Amino acid sequence: MRPNDRTETRKTKRLKTKPALLVMGILLLGNLLWFIAWLIPNNAGSGEAVAEVDGDAIRHEDWVAEMESRVGRESLEALVNEKVMEAAAKKHDIDVSDEELELELALYRSATEGTDQTFLGLNEEQMTKKIRARIILEKVLAKDVVVEDQALKDYYEQNKSLYEVPTSYDVKAIFVSSQEEAESVKQELESGSSFEGLARERSIDASTASLGGSLGFINANTTSLDPNIVRAASELEPMELSEALPLTDGRFAVIQVQSVSEGTSFSFDDVKAHIQRELALEQLPQSVTPRAFWEEFDATWLYED
């Protein structure tokens, strides 16, 4: 393939996936809700201290008030949108099969880089729930849009490489500044320390340390991570620890593969419904969001900030 051909292929992929940005934005708000639920214990007392600085306590009620002022409106809107989409799915008899979920999960893992933030830090169950919500939204939005069969076949032929899904690896990593530190980290892990806990404590990569070291799913085509990490991931068994890996930026890493998703090829029939939604969404105005359904399903905004 000529360099210009590769550039054109990447451009086509970006253009074809652009309609999904709206849906991904909604899912990111969903991640926000999960984060808040994880942070706030259900029975925490309002006067309970959640942190101290030089003996000065930060109270639970102050913490919650600060989070509400920052993300209250966005998180409530995400909840309303979720309920509205559930109502729309029920009204229009929309369901999501296990096969559809498996297809979307495989395509997501293949298309995203390790640094993608949409599902980073979520387990399989949480990721599946959010992808199911995305499929329902797409089906509701695309239900009245007609796409000719020939257009579906043409899209498949022009983008067949998107449906050749490589084996992917769910990877966690701890980044440190020296080989000695990396070997020390591995010893602690082999002695029973939690990978997630040790990543938060010792990893010098702030963006992944806060997620317990999660890099998300990576595959042989991943370019956003050091090639030594990509190579090592393909050689490890699930839950096996790597050696201290030297990285091109001078750091070292210890990685662990949490799970492996074997590669596969999807036929036109496998992905026909998926492509239909993609092309239907491209025909819709960019302004279409779940909020457009609020009036239909009697959603009322009562929150005042």
- Rounded CA-CA distance 153/268 in Å is 7
Mean pLDDT of the chain: 81
Maximum distance among all alpha carbons in the chain? 69
pLDDT surpasses 50 at 203: yes
Mean pLDDT of 91-111: 88
Mean pLDDT of 152-159: 96
Mean pLDDT of 272-294: 85
Domain map of the chain by residue range?
3-163+264-293, 168-261
Mean pLDDT of 176-185: 97
Q: What pLDDT sits at residue 212?
A: 93
Q: What pLDDT sits at residue 73?
A: 76
Torsion of CA 283, 25, 267, 272, to 10 degrees: -30
Residue 45: phi, psi to the nearest 5? -75, 150
Q: What pLDDT sits at residue 54?
A: 79
Q: What pLDDT sits at residue 267?
A: 96
Confidence class for position 201, pLDDT limits 50, 70, 90 = very high
Q: What pLDDT sits at residue 2?
A: 38
* More reliable by pLDDT, 177 or 144: 177
pLDDT surpasses 90 at 240: yes
* More reliable by pLDDT, 15 or 111: 111
Q: What pLDDT sits at residue 22?
A: 47
* More reliable by pLDDT, 17 or 105: 105
- 168-261 CATH, one of 3.10.50.40, 2.30.29.30, 3.55.40.20, 1.10.357.10: 3.10.50.40
C-alpha R_g of the chain: 22
- Rounded CA-CA distance 170/187 in Å is 22
pLDDT surpasses 50 at 17: no
Mean pLDDT of 127-152: 88
Q: What percent of the chain has pLDDT over 70?
A: 79
Q: What percent of the chain has pLDDT over 90?
A: 45
- Rounded CA-CA distance 85/15 in Å is 26
Confidence class for position 194, pLDDT limits 50, 70, 90 = very high
Mean pLDDT of 82-92: 85
Q: What pLDDT sits at residue 284?
A: 84
Mean pLDDT of 160-167: 93
- Rounded CA-CA distance 224/116 in Å is 10
Confidence class for position 213, pLDDT limits 50, 70, 90 = very high
* More reliable by pLDDT, 10 or 183: 183
Q: In terms of Cα–Cα distance, which of 300, 116, 284 is closest to 216?
A: 116
Least confident of 7-11, 46-50, 223-227: 7-11
Mean pLDDT of 135-164: 92
